[in-house]
Every structure is written in C-alpha cells, then in structure tokens.
Amino acid sequence: MRTRPADSADYVVVGAGSAGSIVASRLAASGASVIVLEAGGTDRRPDVAMAIGMASIYRRANWLYPCTPDPSKNGFTDTFAAGRIVGGSGSINAMVYVRGRAEDYDAWADSGCIGWSFNDVLPHFRAVEDWEGGADEYRGTGGPIAVSWCGHRHEINDAFISAATEAGFAFNPDHNGASQLGASRSQVNQRRGLRCSSARGYLRDTGADAPRLRARTQAVKIEFTGTRATSVLCSNGARIVAGQAVVLCAGAIGTPAILLRSGVGPSGSVVDVPAVGENFQDHLVALDTWRSKVPTSNTLGPRELLQATATLITRGDGALTAVPFEAELFTEDHQIGICPMHFTTDKSSGRTTFERIDGFTVSTVLLNPSGRGRVRLDGDRPRVEFERLAHPDDSRRLLDGWSMSRELIRSQPAMRSVADAPFINDCDGIDWLRANEVSIAHAVGTCRMGTDDGAVVDPELRVVGTESLRVVDASVMPTLPSGNTNAPTMMLAHRGAEILSRGA
C-alpha cells in the first residue's frame, strides 16, 4: 500500500457509528481536535431518515460480514448485518429504543467493571435522550436523541397489548423507566417520525466544534511505537497520527478485526491479548408470521400511501413511521415484538421482499442466551464463527418463548378479531427453529471489558497491554443487555467520552 503524507489530531476515532459519532462530538466539544474515519457514505439520504426506507438502506449500506457455516442450523451460511454508513448500524436499524434492565449493568459491575453499575450509567442514559414523556428520575429531556412512542397506531398492536394483559402480564407505562417487565407500545429514536441517530443528533449539531469527518476512508490497521498506538493507516494510503489516543468505535465485528490486523490479539506481534474476538454474543430470535383478518401495511394502495405521506409531513406519525417492533411484551426471559406487516429478507444480499397479503410478524427474542462465538480473520477480512442454536438451553428457552407467543395469539380473546393462522404451520419445534431463527444484529462482547485475564479492555476502556488505545463500542459489553443494543451503545459512548475527556 502506498502511504500518503500524514495528517494528525489529538484523537483519531475509527468509525462514525452509534458510538463513534457521540465520542467524536463530545471530544471536539471539550476542545480537542478530532479526526473521524468512516468507511461508509453519507447518511443525508431519504431512505435513512424515513422508516419506510429501512429495506433499501439495509441492503445498500451494510457490511454483511460473512459467517462460517452453522452446524446447529444444518450448515446454513449467514451474513451478519452492520451499518456501513455515517451513523453505522444506527442509520440502518429499526430505531427501537430499549435500555435494558438495571440488573444487566449491576452484573457488569459485579464482574469487575467498576463504574458501570446501573446507578453509574443512568445519568448517561438520561443525558443522551430527549424523551417525549418528560423527565423524571429515570428519563431525560433536552438530549440530542429524540425518543418517542412508535407513531404507527394499528389495531393489531393494540390487540396484542390487550391480549398480553388478558394473559396476566402487566401493562407497563414505560419499559425504559422503573421496570422493563410487561406490555406496552414501543419506543423509538425518531423526531416527528424521522430517524434520530447519534450521527444526526450529535455530529450535525456541534457547530464550530464539529470534528473533521473523513468519509469513505476505511481504517486498515493501527500503527504502534512499542506498545503505544501512534497512528492509523487507512485503505487510501493515508496515515492519521493520534496525539493523545486512537479510539476504536468500529463495532463488535469491525473493532476486533482491526486489532487482530494490527498485532493485538492471540499471540499478537505487538501484544498478546488472547480474548480479542472471543465472547461474541447475539440475541436469538424466532421470527413468526401470521395471516391477518384486517388490512396491514402489506396491502396499502396509492390512496393510503398518499394519506400516510400527508400524515407524516403534518403530524410526524402514521404508517410511514412503522418499525419491526411496534408493541412489545417483556418477560423475564423474552422480548416479544409485533409488527402489522410481514416480509422476508435474503440474508446474503440484504434484499427485503413484501408480499401483498395482509399479515403480521411476531419476533420472540431470547434476551440472555448462553451461547458464545468469536470473530476471526479470513485473510484480512473478519468472519463470524457462531453456532446459534448449539447450546441446548438456548434452544429450549427460545422454543418456550415462541410457544408462549403463539398461545397468546391463538387463545386470548383480544386477538381473535385480527389474527388468522400462521403462514407456517406447526412442525417439530427444533426443525421449525432451525428454519426460522434469525439475527437482528445485536452483536456485543468481542473486546470484553473487565479486570480478569479474559478481558480485552479495563473499566476505563483501555486496551490491556497497550498505551493510547481505547475501545468505545458494543464490543466492550461483557454480556448482552436485555433488549435492543443501540440505546446501551449510545449510553456507553457518552460515558466513554467522559472518561477520555478527563484523561483517565
């Protein structure tokens, strides 16, 4: 690779995704000079802003990281989604806003991650958000990330919440408040029905303090003097020198890949960190589709689309703000989300297909799976090794959740007027699961935070055995939070920027 003359800044932030956008913005606001390296293109496009554009942006701005064949799913070869665009996965995801549970973060602290208990991270959750329900001891207002109730009101969503309460579950007025358990409408990071990612909330609004954003420049490897990270070499030959630190925010697949390419990992040429790329975790999801007795988004005609467009423009809600989880039920083990639409996605190409048949989708998420995988390099490219259904306890618990969701829809009176039959009839449970379990791209854990020999970063997010090198993204999470991972990633970035700003 031909090297170009070096550029420099106090901080070089690798990745302008959900974490990197916040880290770069907050460091710049503190007075530091910052260069952000981002391999993807601009997020200033309508298919990013509008929920209806998710199908397009998921296909066009996606790393689609390759996976090895999965023996637990009959050798199926998958790809793993991650946003390749300014805003990262926060620019292509479903915008479902879930913090997780206090117990998730208290468990991090109990495992040695001092400073990451729920009481420690709650102020950062509150600082990030501008919650339409108003501030209280759990929720924040005035932050850069707008959080609202899902703007698509549909009778299937209302019926699902009623069915859950008929079955004995509580109605929860705010699952990001005092308790997560129970049924409610979903919360989304949207402002007047349009996506409010961390790139839009932070990078665009820093004015004169805005970091220098180098789009379409992929970080290839970190360069070291001894064990001190001094610069980043990019795919276009540029060398970016870091005066204070290199901060990796490339996600749970991209970040370990950069470390491994840079000689930081098992038997690494710079430093031996055996756990780099290990501890890969992802939520397991049973995706079930049902025929509907009432019209759904699948059969919207020209008149309905025109009305939906007018509603989005004038009120910021309606059918064009729809997301894959519009109402949710949280139990101890599961998150069950419902969407009045059915679709299929080709995981190899990212292409989504919508049939013109009224239907709805039920996603049963296993919140705390036991299975673990890893990220390794195949040449210079990362590859995910993860047998999704290999752990028998995970398969059993996911099937239990799927059975519960089917029983709720079949048996509760509230669903009878809207639900017909499932598109796929009952079969042997594990066979059904092998065919219908999917990823919704919640990868974490591959640069685990901790104080033991298996940690990659310490609680101050420093890569062990190195100097001037930090990781601030979902890869440092020791375990999965109970729910969608974007809100926890933004919280982590907010706190990580604070740690960096004080020079810890």
Tens of pLDDT, residue by residue over 110-123, are 999 999 999 999 99
Residue 418: is its pLDDT beyond 90? yes
pLDDT in tens, 92-103: 999 999 999 999
- Catalytic residue, from 175, 334, 342, 442: name it: 442
Q: Which helix (H) or strand (E) holds 395?
A: helix 392-411
Res 208 pLDDT > 50:
no
Report the chain's mean pLDDT, rounded to a whole number: 94
CATH 3.30.410.40 segments of the chain: 151-185+284-380+389-439
Check residue 424 and give its pLDDT.
Answer: 82
User: Given this model, what pLDDT does residue 1 score?
Assistant: 47
Is the pLDDT at 57 greater than 80? The verdict is yes
State whether CATH 1.10.3720.10 applies to domain 1-114+190-215+238-248+467-504: no
pLDDT grade for 426, boundaries at 50, 70 and 90:
low
Element (H, E) at 123: helix 118-128
Question: For 75-79, 209-213, 436-440, which range has the lowest pLDDT when averaged over its residues?
Answer: 209-213
Non-local (6+) Cβ contacts of 74 within 8 A are 434
Whether 152 sits among the annotated catalytic residues: the reply is no
pTM of the model: 0.96
pLDDT in tens, 287-328: 999 999 999 999 999 999 999 999 999 999 999 999 999 999
Rounded Cα distance between 503 and 460, Å, is 10
Residue burial 70-92, b: 16+ Cβ < 10 Å; e: rest: bebbeeeebbbbbbbbbbbbbbb
The pLDDT, as a whole number, for residue 206 is 53
Please determine, for residue 3, whether its predicted confidence score (pLDDT) is greater than 70.
Answer: no
- The pLDDT tens digits of the residues spanning 172-201 come to 999 999 999 999 999 999 999 999 999 999
Q: Where in the chain is the domain with CATH 3.50.50.60?
A: 1-114+190-215+238-248+467-504
Q: What is the DSSP string of 428-474?
A: -HHHHHHHHEE-----B-TT-B-SSTT-SB-TT-BBTT-BSEEE-SG
For the domain 151-185+284-380+389-439, what is the CATH code? 3.30.410.40
